[in-house]
Structure 1
Amino acid sequence: MSFIESYKHLDKICGEMFETQYGVSAYIEEMLNNPHGSYLVRGWENDLKQLKHYRWIRNQIVHEPDCYEETMCEAGDDEWLDDFYERIINQTDPLAMYFQATKPHPVAKSAQNHEPARLQYTYSKQPSQPKHKSKKVVRWIVFSIIVAIVLLYLVLKYFIN
């Protein structure tokens, strides 16, 4: 496959995973939203760097005049994309490895009731609203604490004088 064909193939599966038209970009965004991935998954930073680089190459070829696959790509670029596609299929890609490393482990049951746990592989959707709401809640809590401290100071000052 050519670079563009390999990229489109990878972009399609990433888009299906995240239910978006921005396949590789959604995958990159998900990696950026999990900053601890580099501590838990070997090769995380390198894969992220490569994905960003190949997205940039694809954008140059598609959007810039006088940019062609033959001049922008190096030998093996399409093979890397194909290999990354296979890693997604085999659930050995960085996000799969991250979710496997961070998923809660089930508590062992008694021997007679023990059944093997079934693995389910899912990706989060883009972008998540709860982060925004939790920041707002934290701001209100901090504001309330500051108001309470100021009121306590004023009350104590009034009774001491």
Structure 2
Amino acid sequence: MNKTDMEFFETYKRLDRLCSDVFGLRNGGVTRYIDELKAIGYGCTEDCKILKRLRHIRNQMAHDEGTFDYQVCDRDDIIWLNAFYNRIMKRTDPLAVHYRAGRKAQNTVRNNVHHSVQHNSSRHRKNRKANVIFNIIFFLIIIACACCIYFFEFN
């Protein structure tokens, strides 16, 4: 195994540990990350494709015979793994962005519902006032009519 392959292997393990920590697993963090991407419909994204390719390289290194005889990865793979690790740490990775967007949408819906409830409550109070005023006027008219009838019948 050459120096680049060893560095790749260590960098991949570092990313796998981070993903495992994020998902509360002992191992298999990158695989779980890929599964989560697929679950939210991001399975065909470039990030997912690269993660799958790099996971395959790592599995070749760990399980196949003779992979130490030739270079399996290149420097760009290590750079990508480090960049992806940093994206997860900064919460700019695809899953973090997806879930953050989902929470914003939920908050928007929650705020719209709250505003609608307040608006309906305000409208309800106005309608209630109008109903009370109408009932008072109607009651006064009934009393006035009753007084007129009483007055004209007995006079």
Say yes or no: TM over 0.5: yes
Partner of 2:7: 2
Q: Which residue of 1 aligns with 2:32?
A: 26
The answer to whether 1:94 aligns with 2:94 is: yes
Equivalence for 2:82: 82
2:61 and 2:33 mapped to 1: Cα distance?
A: 20
Q: CA deviation at 1:69?
A: 8.6
| SS of aligned partner of 1:71 | coil
In the comparison of the two structures, how many residue pairs are matched?
Answer: 104
Equivalent position amino acid for 2:107 in 1: H
Report the secondary structure of 1:59's partner residue. helix
Aligned-residue CA RMSD (Å): 2.2
Residues 66/75 of structure 1: CA separation in 2 closer, same or farther (3 Å cut): same
| Structure 1 runs (4+) greater than 3 angstroms displaced | none
Distance 1:78 1:45, change over 3 A: same
Q: Which has the higher contact order (CA 8 A, sep 6+)?
A: 1
Cα distance in 2 for residues equivalent to 1:58 and 1:96: 24
2:19 is matched with which residue?
14
Relative to its length, the structure with more helix (as a share) is 2
Matches within 5 A, 1:8-157: 8-20=13-25, 21-35=27-41, 37=42, 45-68=45-68, 71-103=71-103, 104-106=106-108, 107=111
Runs of at least 5 residues in structure 2 that lack an aligned partner in the other structure: 1-5, 116-155
How far is 1:92 from its partner? 0.2
Structure 1 equivalent of residue 139 of structure 2 = none
Identity of aligned residues (%): 37
Cα deviation for residue 5 of structure 1 reads: 0.8
Deviations 1:97-124 (A, max 9, x none): 11111221252889xxxxxxxxxxxxxx
If you compute each CA radius of gyration, which structure gives the higher value, 1 or 2? 2
